[in-house]
Amino acid sequence: MVRDVMGGAALVLLLFGSAAEAQMSHLTMHWEGRGFVNGSVGAQATGDDPTFDVGRDLYQQRMGIRSGVDIGGGALWDVSAGYRVWRNLVVGLGYSQFGNDSNTTAAVSIPHPLITNQPRVGTTAGSNLDHSQRALHFVASWMIPVTDKIDVAVSTGPTIFFVKQDLITDVAFSEIGAPFTTVNIGGPVVSDRSETGGGFHIGADVTYLLRPRWGAGAFLRYAGGGVTFDGIDGGEVDAGGLQIGLGVRYRF
- Mean pLDDT of the 140-161 span: 96
CATH number where 146 lies = 2.40.160.20
Please give the tally of structural domains in the chain. 1
Q: What is the pLDDT of residue 62?
A: 95
Which domain, by its residues, includes 246? 2-251
Q: What is the pLDDT of residue 4?
A: 44
| C-alpha span between 159 and 136 (Å, rounded) | 6
Q: What is the pLDDT of residue 70?
A: 87
For residue 46, pLDDT over 50 is answered with yes
Q: What is the pLDDT of residue 27?
A: 57
- Mean pLDDT of the 143-154 span: 95
- Average per-residue pLDDT for the chain: 89
For residue 61, pLDDT over 60 is answered with yes
Three-state secondary structure call for residue 18: helix
Query: In sequence order, what E strands does the chain have?
Result: 35-45, 51-58, 61-68, 74-86, 89-110, 120-145, 150-175, 183-209, 214-228, 236-251
- Mean pLDDT of the 30-55 span: 92
Q: What is the pLDDT of residue 26?
A: 53
Confidence tier at 233 by pLDDT (50, 70, 90): confident
pLDDT digits (tens, 9 = 90+) for 105-123: 999 999 999 999 999 999 9
